[in-house]
Structure 1
């Protein structure tokens, strides 16, 4: 099924650029069970595996569009992801409110490129999701440059995890997940060498927030989504720059189901953000990056 967006951006209030679908219609989950247990405890999440229908119902009820994705980390985790075809089919069913992103495992080499092209051209995904720590790869390494070149040619944005990691948190050795792969400076190399590729750095990048701020200011093709953290805990440097140098670079995101949009929006309303900047963060910047205008 080929996805076509039916979102009327003039009628929605916001766009959540970071929503996870963690289970498919067959009940297969995106990661091994220990990761769900650990992240549920870390985030104090009430529901880790909502269906695509329930996600659509929630976001439609608050007049907010949502970018939905999963993660393919088959090589690192030894576990196949939930079905991207099912995800796109669900988003197509709810194309008035949902936007599908694809995912591939960079460590599968040429197969990753072939699969990315399939997802873009045959399924109609509107971007791609990566998680260097969970997928176990350094995005700045030359072996992954053919993938970035292919994605630049396809012309869709990517969202890539940065900073602290809730996956594997509290487990011995973090279940083998290495935080350094999520240093935003590794994405700076990619942004510099592939200027036609729009890169969304996911989350406030603690403990590398200043690096992320600098990259987003320096590179026209780099943005930051504000997911994974309650706004009341945003780093001071990020909050300060939100009203000026980063006002056109920040995107509303929750990390649902780990953080609910109601909780995120409530806390965001309490921040000292200028009135003219709020709509940029909540919707306008995402409309531009996602090509929805």
Structure 2
């Protein structure tokens, strides 16, 4: 999220200076693709102080903006986010941005049609998911598997950290009915969901088969991330809708795009069981797996 804020500030300064990206790249003697990566908050961009100062001088940045951007870019050199240790080991590069956004979000809403969301998965359940074709690892990669599961466990700590995000989840009934692994794994997983719902910042609703056709049937699984507001009540980041596929992901942050997913969410939330009835259904399913 820090890099996205840096990129947005640089883009704003460039436009205020009346420069196109091509003009700025030419005057800075840098590739247009490099400026594009900076303004889009790419994770792998390195901010050398001399390069940052050159951009600030070209854009005619104020002393206040210069001081802020020099401090922000310095932070990217000095601090290493915890997930960097997993790059190349079960963490696709297109997923890195999501991890950063998730860590900075104040409210995360997730709809899943087939799987328990990663933030609620047990290690045993996650292992079954990762072993499937298209998962993060193959059947032989035991070390990759260990690190991928460890990453998922690390991500889950954000739910119990100081000032955690609000997590709102809607799951299709298929998520609790379709066995993943054996009955022991499923019983443990459903009990894990119930345990998570006891946290004050976690809610889970089940969209039952009897709800019939719903808006999520057209969209598939997605997440909506919202971010804190500053002292003036302004969002530090615009909301983002995240859609994941087998080989990549889509990040949507234009107002009309996130508005569309808010509408989809509202339709599903109105059709899903409330929290209490959802917990009862999950508890019932867990007991069925335990006695199977």
Could you say which structure has the larger radius of gyration? 2
Tell me which protein shows more helix as a share of its residues. Answer: 2
One fold, TM greater than 0.5?
Answer: no
- What's the TM-score, normalizing by structure 2? 0.27
